Amino acid sequence: MKTQNVSQKMISSHLISGEMTPGTEIGLKIDQVLLQDATGTLVMLELEAFNLNKIKPEVAVQYVDHNLLQTDYKNMDDHLFLQSAAARFGFWFSRPGNGISHVVHMERFGRPGKTLLGSDSHTPAGGGIGMLAIGTGGLDVALASAGEPYFVKMPKVMGIKLVGKLPDWVSAKDVILEMLRRYDVTGGRGYILEYYGPGLKSLSAWDRHVIANMGTETGATTSVFPSDEITLEFLKQEGREDEWMKLEADEGATYDLNIEINLSELEPLIALPGSPGNVVPVREVSGLKINQVVIGSSANPGLRDFWITSQILKGEVISPDVSFDINPSSRQVLENLTEMGALGPLIAAGGRLHQSGCMGCIGMGQAPATNTISLRTMPRNFPGRSGTLDDQIYLCSPETAAASAITGKITDPRELEILMNMAYPKWIEPSQIKISKKMLIAPNEESPELIKGPNIKTLPNFEQLPDKLEIPILLKMGDDISTDGILKAGADVLPLRSNIPELSKYAYYAIDESFYDRAIENQKLHTGFCVIAGNNYAQGSSREHAALSPRYLGQKFAIAKSYARIGWQNLINFGIIPFEFKNPADWDKLEQGDILQIEGLRIAIKNREAVTATVIGKNIEIPLIYNISERQVEHILQGGVINFVKQK
Ligand code: SF4
């Protein structure tokens, strides 16, 4: 039999349809699903629209980690709705404050060799313990919850050979920042990043989680580590060693692309504001004055990550100019930090302790001050994500964060050896930890009514695709537009995620504050609108609201030079056609306000034929292409997947 790498083994053992030829559509059996609250409310409304009885996967968990602030009734309305929906459809329910989805999932449910589909783009963190874990839009997770396969284009596999051993003051975050330094936010597109080699021995399961989690930022479909002795040690620590299986690449297995990282040669790295791909060595920006340091998030969630900051800050006081915020990643981590005496030094040094969850990572609190630098151990720094529109967020390791919190300036942690005569604290993985399960509610056979407070609005209905369109370009955008740009993040917006009419007021807000008013005005004049964009459109989070809200306002299609995977899928799911420029240079010919006309659209889509848009009054024709599967044709024609399922 042909030798296989780990990714190929997991795909072939879950393949329901298609062939494993890169770029072609495959259908995968999904063993586990996870939802977080910011996307989960919609998924539950979709399951209601499907009229589903009980969900099908082996494990399904609804987490509440994103919208934890209770400044009015809205988030709490969502929490109650989610708890009732979890019970109604058969999900586990992880109560508010129990921790970040990816962290609790790895602690309690993740299992080597299984597939996991999550309505959160950092779901690939599960790859740290040998899962095939993919992040996608909520509608795909709703379908998987109903027992349908997950369809995705067969990725290529990038084999990343790790050799050497990380030097002192350099940790797992620097490994993934090195990947981003090399590949930026698009270099992983169409790939699974599979790690192997002798360097793996020195990376714990949580180190691997850090690397797999933030692999999402390269645009990769997912990241995969083997399941080895270190995975077994992790499962033992969690009291789940019986769930271990060995999963390694066959001797002589090959990869579509081969790269190598010598861990011994890495140094502390940092991503500059604006994009996780803007990576430079910390020493190049050291000395810049900072105003805030935030530790935690699913990108640095393990006990070690908090412990190391605690060791560095022990007996110190943070700079008077710095707010030092601690976001515990899970209740279990918090309980263990307390028990091992690692929380005390963080508090004594001046740390501000928040509840377990995403918090500042998704702009739910901890928004930085205007024109100041915030240093974070988080995975993303797209403009405005923090809740401050002109923010300056730098991403780094816990070591760099702790060193900088003391000095008040961006500091290469290696400098602590000279500045404070400090040796690098050596972490030894504990063989046993305290297990915390109390805040998980198991599914049962009952089917209670859904509790819908005033913040929960039933999903809007959408019309089918028309045959002729004559609509304006309401927004022209450049490259790398993120879903944070398409739909604003932050504490004022997130609580509206189960209320599409209200949420839509923030569509494209971070790019053009007047967009909503123009969209409403446009509704009086035209039957819809379109937008145009450059490369890598809709990168970033998995939120389907970034397709649903523009759709609600009347968006019929987008034309981009290229798309990020999840964003592209979400557009199709909600009946927005993701056109691409046949000639990318045509982007320059189009202007905001141009009226585009397309005729014979339904027939063309049905036959998957190319389409031409005519610019009214300008004598310009723009040839458009799109790459949708036969299965997706019906979704577009029906006006989205919900209509399609209802029709079925
Ligand atoms: Fe939460 Fe941030 Fe992790 Fe997303 S990346 S799951 S917002 S902690």
Let me know: does 405 contact 313? Beta carbons within 8 Å.
yes
A 10 A CB-CB count for 201 gives 11
State if residue 359 touches ligand 1 by the CB under 6 angstroms criterion.
Answer: no
State if residue 379 touches ligand 1 by the CB under 6 angstroms criterion.
Answer: yes
pLDDT on residue 49:
86
pLDDT on residue 1:
61
Let me know: does 255 contact 269? Beta carbons within 8 Å.
no
The stretches in the chain having pLDDT less than 50 are none
Q: How far is the CA of 591 from the centre of ligand 1 (A)?
A: 36
Closest residue to atom 2 of ligand 1, CA basis: 361
State if residue 253 touches ligand 1 by the CB under 6 angstroms criterion.
Answer: no
Q: What does DSSP say about strands 611-615 and 620-625: parallel, antiparallel, or unpaired?
A: antiparallel
| CA proximity to 388, closest of 497, 280, 291, 316 | 291
Paired residues of 116 in beta bridges: 32, 133
- Mutate-to-test residue for ligand 1 from 65, 386, 543, 566, highest number of ligand atoms within 8 A of CB: 65
Let me know: does 388 contact 367? Beta carbons within 8 Å.
yes
Per-residue pLDDT reduced to its tens digit, 232-286:
999 999 999 999 999 999 999 999 999 999 999 999 999 999 999 999 999 999 9
Residues with Cβ < 8 Å from 436, sequence gap 6 or more? 330, 331, 332, 335
pLDDT on residue 549:
96
pLDDT on residue 286:
98
Q: What does DSSP say about strands 25-28 and 150-153: parallel, antiparallel, or unpaired?
A: antiparallel
Q: Is the dihedral of CA 276, 108, 307, 267 positive or negative?
A: negative
487: DSSP letter: B
pLDDT on residue 556:
98
Per-residue pLDDT reduced to its tens digit, 330-349:
999 999 999 999 999 999 99
Per-residue tokens: 463: 């019309």
- Mutate-to-test residue for ligand 1 from 106, 213, 362, highest number of ligand atoms within 8 A of CB: 362
Closest residue to atom 1 of ligand 1, CA basis: 358
pLDDT on residue 491:
84
State if residue 298 touches ligand 1 by the CB under 6 angstroms criterion.
Answer: yes
Distance CA 40, CA 35 (A): 5
- Mutate-to-test residue for ligand 1 from 106, 358, 493, highest number of ligand atoms within 8 A of CB: 358
Helix (H, G, I), strand (E, B) or coil at 363: coil
* Domains of the chain, first to last: 6-265 (3.30.499.10), 269-419 (3.30.499.10), 469-647 (3.20.19.10)
